[in-house]
Amino acid sequence: MLQIKEVETKKEFNQFVKLPYKIHANHENWVPPLLLDEKMFFDKNVNPSFKNDKTILLIAYKDNVPVGRIMGIIKKSGNKDTAARFGFMETYDDLEVYNALMEKIEEWVKSNGYNKIIGPYGFSDQDPEGYIIEGYEYEVTVATNYNFPWVIEYLEKRGYTKEIDYVVYQIDVNKPIPEIFQKINDRLIERGEYAFLEFKKKKELKPYADKMMEVMNETYVHLFGYEALDEAESKFLIKRFWDLIDPRFIKAVAKDGDFCGFLISIPNLSEGFKKAKGRLLPFGIFHLLKAGNNSTQCDLLIAGARDKYKNKGLDVWGMVSIIKESKKAGYKYIDSHHELETNYKVRAEMEKFGGKEIKKFRVYQKELL
């Protein structure tokens, strides 16, 4: 017998969090997140986004065995086009379970006065967004979905259609930096107008962490689905990613005491996450450290610049610096992470740096009648 239940007890919470590890147990390319981080993220008493937004966690049981889960989110903005979302959907290949979970979320969205739902999408675009529809064969990166192909078929059968796509570029760091970008980079440095900040230790980063979050909000506020993080949400995001960062791959720019912009990237740690199997202890931490040392790819995560410093070439300096740092580390590639298909400026820049489009993620939408 199939039962859909809202997560209420500690037992149900643990089942909700751990279910993906069972569903993807034999999924070769899936990268298990750290269980400790997942528990923090879904804990209403720890993740400040739960205080700002309306949420529901649902779990599906067949004969009292957990077989599926889903999360519903309604953002505080109340934007009729992007506020109502589903995400973190996981099921076995079972259409009955899949439809039951989706139907419950759609009913919940309508009961809250919304007639449109988008997804998969989390609280912000720093959470996994969109289902992968192209590029399954490429290296998986953090904070991205790696769904089974049949998920797309099931979703489209329910009447979901494309809302927007994200694309991912791969840059070969051993290819020459385009001459025009090298000239822009050199000219910026020669002028001495900006202070170009590079880091060796995490403690050097701490004074700039909050400033980076402020600039991120200013940069992303006009992008699809983005809603500015408040102070508590920003600090929570920093806490979640702090252990993964490598200071060498973080670049920032200041001018006369004003923080202008930044770029955050990390070594690709996918192999370490796979071997850790969600556990940091006793040996997971060593797998991640080893993966960082043996990685051949740098993964871009977040970049931003204050409005008044845009179109000044600072983004070029950031990319040139990351390419050089990646080459120094012996890496082969840079993964751009998600770029909105409508973010033509960034996409053009990636392509001029020699970027090849390798993955595509799709956010779906449905009008609820």
Residue 283 has pLDDT above 90, yes or no: no
Tokens coding 193 = 């107008």
CB 146 within 8 A of CB 132: yes
Residue 282 has pLDDT above 90, yes or no: no
Q: Judging by beta carbons within 10 Å of its beta carbon (0-12, 13-18, 19+), is residue 332 exposed, middle or buried?
A: middle
Percent of the chain with pLDDT over 70: 100
Q: What is the mean pLDDT of the chain?
A: 96
Question: What is 2-163's CATH superfamily?
Answer: Gcn5-related N-acetyltransferase (GNAT) (3.40.630.30)
What pTM value is reported for the model? 0.96
Percent of the chain with pLDDT over 90: 95
Tokens coding 144 = 């991205």
Task: Give the pLDDT of residue 281.
Answer: 84
CB 2 within 8 A of CB 61: yes
- CA-nearest of 90, 99, 87, 157 to 128 is 87
Residue 139 has pLDDT above 90, yes or no: no
Encode pLDDT of 164-210 as tens digits: 999 999 999 999 999 999 999 999 999 999 999 999 999 999 999 99
Taking CA atoms, 317 is separated from 14, 41, 261, 324, 350, in Å, by 45, 34, 11, 11, 13
Tokens coding 55 = 């949420």
CB 366 within 8 A of CB 157: no
In angstroms, the CA 207 to CA 188 distance is 24
Q: Who has greater pLDDT, 140 or 11?
A: 11
In angstroms, the CA 240 to CA 6 distance is 26
269 SS3 class: coil
Encode pLDDT of 287-300 as tens digits: 999 999 999 999 99
Write out the DSSP string of 56-112: EEEEEEETTEEEEEEEEEE-TT--TTTSEEEEEEEE-S-HHHHHHHHHHHHHHHHHT
Q: Which amino acid is at 180?
A: I
pLDDT band at 369 (very low <50, low <70, confident <90, very high): confident
Question: For 254, phi and psi rounded to 5 degrees?
Answer: -135, 160
CATH for 171-362 is 3.40.630.30
Two domains, one topology: 2-163 and 171-362: yes
Query: Looking at residues 128-146, what average pLDDT do you find?
Result: 94
CB 13 within 8 A of CB 80: no
Task: Give the pLDDT of residue 321.
Answer: 98
Task: Give the pLDDT of residue 114.
Answer: 98
Q: Where are the domains of the chain?
A: 2-163, 171-362
Task: Give the pLDDT of residue 343.
Answer: 95
